[in-house]
Structure 1
Amino acid sequence: MPDIRIAPCSTADLYTLQDIAIRSYRDHYLYLWFDGGAWYIDRSFEEQALRDELVDLHAAFYLIYTDEELVGFLKLNLHKEFGNHTAAEALELERIYLTKAASGKGIGREVVNFTKEVAQKYKKRIIWLKAMDSSRSVEFYEQNGFEKCDTYTLPFEQMKPEYRGMFVMKLEL
């Protein structure tokens, strides 16, 4: 397994984050959209959208490197209520995006372990996430201790209907 470094990301890293977000998204998700992902990429990864997220005190972004090569990013919502768990008790793992070249090498597992460490630092009782029901990520998260607990449907009309389904998953700490 390659050497993995997970580094905090700030507004000073905006363009680095934007680049890896677009690259990793294009590697995996363009097939989901009628427009090849243009609407979602513009909505989620344009400069002002990322700047707004980076200054949110409840969000934490991290850049993921292997052997000093940037291969992905992680976004956590540090205080995000879930079910009967308050924001003080719950952390949302919103995104782990890796480039295609970095996928399947154990990096995601290390990122989940890092997320668990962050959750423990903040004394969280649960980590939760949404994963596409048509994606192999559901199996990945199950292998890392998460369990399905609900479903959700994305409201994006620009997305092909067969890909809008999500599983809500949780990991109790």
Structure 2
Amino acid sequence: MLKTQIKPCTPADLYTLQDIAIRSYNDHYLYLWFDGGTWYVDRSFKEETLRNELADPNAAFYLIYHDEELVGFLKLNLHKDTNEYTAEEALELERIYLTKAASGKGIGREVVKFTKSIAAKYNKRVIWLKAMDSSRSVDFYEQNGFVKCGTYTLPFEQMKPEYRGMYVLKLEI
């Protein structure tokens, strides 16, 4: 039986969040970068960055456990507008990062289900996200009801050009 728990992440969990963020990112995304991901990890998961994000009332972080083992994290932006929807109507699913060992076990589906419950709590009309166009995650999101509604190109010069493309996907509630 699937035993996934999703727990709110607080500033007291900063180092736990930092550890799982780096571990899960390193499991999946180092090939995207000329420098093996060093620039992105330093930029996105350093203590100061995470401390500021955890203090943002619009950001909600959650730690993901499976069978009591920490296997990933979720970051939501509770009020983030899109081209079609206002911040009051839209919730951004910014990150679901799972360790490689946790992938393919149905945990992601549970996290999407949880995200839908948060969107309902805030009376949102849509959940949206950006996913790498070269990633299998696009298929995962489409299997969970999201539809492509746009594209985006990451501006990171440190990233290999062939991996900078993203799809914007949405799930209307």
**TM range, smaller chain:** over 0.9
Question: What pairs up with 1:63-142 in 2 under 5 angstroms?
Answer: 63-142=63-142
Question: Equivalent residue for 2:165?
Answer: 165
C-alpha offsets along residues 8-67 of structure 1, whole Å, 9 cap, x if unaligned? 001000000000000000000000000000000000000000000000000000000011
Matched residue of 1:157: which SS? coil
Partners of 1:156 and 1:96 in 2: CA distance: 20
Question: Equivalent residue for 1:18?
Answer: 18
Matched residue of 2:82: which SS? coil
Question: Equivalent residue for 1:8?
Answer: 8
When the two chains are superposed, the root-mean-square deviation of aligned CA atoms in Å is 0.5
Matched residue of 2:159: which SS? coil
Structure 2, unaligned runs of 5 or more:
none
Structure 1, unaligned runs of 5 or more:
none
**Cα distance, 1:84 vs structure 2:** 2.4
- Aligned pairs, how many? 173
Matched residue of 1:145: which SS? coil
Matched residue of 1:65: which SS? strand
Q: TM-score, normalised by structure 1?
A: 0.99
Partners of 1:94 and 1:124 in 2: CA distance: 16
Q: What percentage of residue pairs aligned between the two structures are identical? A: 79
Partners of 2:160 and 2:109 in 1: CA distance: 29
Question: Equivalent residue for 1:154?
Answer: 154
**Cα distance, 1:2 vs structure 2:** 3.0
**Cα distance, 1:82 vs structure 2:** 1.0
Partners of 1:151 and 1:83 in 2: CA distance: 12
Counterpart of 1:163 in structure 2: which amino acid?
A: Y
Matched residue of 2:151: which SS? strand
Q: TM-score, normalised by structure 2?
A: 0.99
Query: After the TM superposition, which parts of structure 1 deviate over 2 Å for at least 4 consecutive aligned residues?
Result: none
Counterpart of 1:20 in structure 2: which amino acid?
A: I
**Cα distance, 1:3 vs structure 2:** 0.3
